[in-house]
Structure 1
């Protein structure tokens, strides 16, 4: 998969790592796609740990975080995460999956040495999964795309904080060993690190959802009088939203990287099918309708790649990149939805079966258009920027 675009600005070490990740995913991980331990709520933890053990032996576990704790650049990370995404199981095996990858990034940026040793290091080693507890049930009119609506509360009590509330769509909570909990104090949003499971954090249910790639599924959670030591707060009271942005901008882009890899593979499968399948006296690829869909896929995949690396370059400058990550999230998720849809269409009845990963990739990409903010919310945010810039120009 190495391309000229990818090689620009990437060290030989990172390119070699990306190549090794691709070889591992294609040769070792892909055969697990038929494993019966893949459930509707994600692969079992037994299966995930087996895959991580194989990645550890191959030297590609948590490849984006180096042995000294340093992180690859975002451009280098893109090269690696795109390759890990060539199978829906690849990010789990390589420990580059959401929400762990984003949580590791956040803790690496803002965690104290003590918090890193206790919470981050086991995640980097692939020993613990994590969950990010921010979104709240719509039925409660809690925080979703608008985090200012947060209802979960926290208040100090001696050298502890006490947290109460409900959360929903919490990916991987069932089976997680680390939790990042967001709550609202009198000063504003706060973020806490907690050990999981905890009797004060109860899983009400794991929902049945359209996607099935993430271990533990997506849970509805009740938090009742959770006591957290004060030194397990990230930063200070009221800084939670700022830290959330540190996590969310790169995390949006990481989704683009992983699912770009998945759609590259889906397109490979659909292209192979179109070249082999005969209809009306010739291969499907020779029928203009199918050939044009393959051509359109190449265009959308290249545009998604360009947008992903462009946003990575912006993040590598050290700026927050909120606007750029919103643009990338919209452009890439919508482009990949078109790619996945065409792959299903080209394969006809075969495309809606579980005989290949094409059907799963289609479902997962549909959910990706909602992860970390639906397309419409990002467009609305970008439109507000247009208005702000216009007002500034009028005043200047």
Structure 2
């Protein structure tokens, strides 16, 4: 069945038409290499400058602090690897959390094999970092704290300002993976004491294959790609001009519409969560009930296998996910859900739905009707559910 209701905007978003329109001339008309000195190249260079300025304005940053990458994962890799290399004379200790995106966790594993000491902070049942535990984890060898702004699976927003203050007080660099948060919640890098920030264009109705790493002026960090003078000699390679143009337009669009858009998303989110919790038994909400992304709904259904639920929803024309799009091929339960204390059998029955400004109340009502029907059918086939009912009826 053709997808009619798309509820997986945390995985990727539809590229906005105005973004596509802005990009098109840079494929076929203004296609010059921005490093060239002739007019066609100059137009491309000017377009990159504009895109950089549009993104910097959303963050309250300087345009020269924005470095374009191929996406959020590259930006995360750059922040961690280059910091470890640049500051290894000072120390080799990095602090992060157990619920980071794998772009952070797998990079930390890579660095551990090269001499880094990594502390993985616990989170509470809502996915929030304990600031006291963070304070206690700091050592004289700590060079970097990397905590994601908002979790990609359960939507929990971390106390970023407080974490930034702790890092600043101890003269430690603070990086945040803001792939899910940029364009969804207000971010000012100075007010939040952020030294580095990662983002990705396709999460905010921009194109895929483009991201950026914000690096505060004065932060000593090594080049990530060698071979040319692009991105102020820190990331070589001919720039993705259409992608940068599209990202700039998407960032401005997201910032301009944020207040009205997120208000609508929060109303729909809370309406949908309320109906799920009230109308389906043996279900729990994952993530902080209030400090969460405006568009995130993540719930776990007992006695249900999440993959079966997703397949049956797809047959009804509904696209959702069980967690991170980057781990959809894994049979293991989400590391995020395990970190907040869910047992394996409940974590396996999780469903993540992320709405957009195009989602309607009617979409969610239809989705809930289908979920209720599917959950009922799956539980009827579950021996665990049958045993549970028998014990509680006895």
Normalising by structure 2, report the TM-score: 0.25
Higher relative contact order (CA 8 A, sep 6+): 2
Going by fraction, where is helix more abundant, 1 or 2? 1
Normalising by structure 1, report the TM-score: 0.25
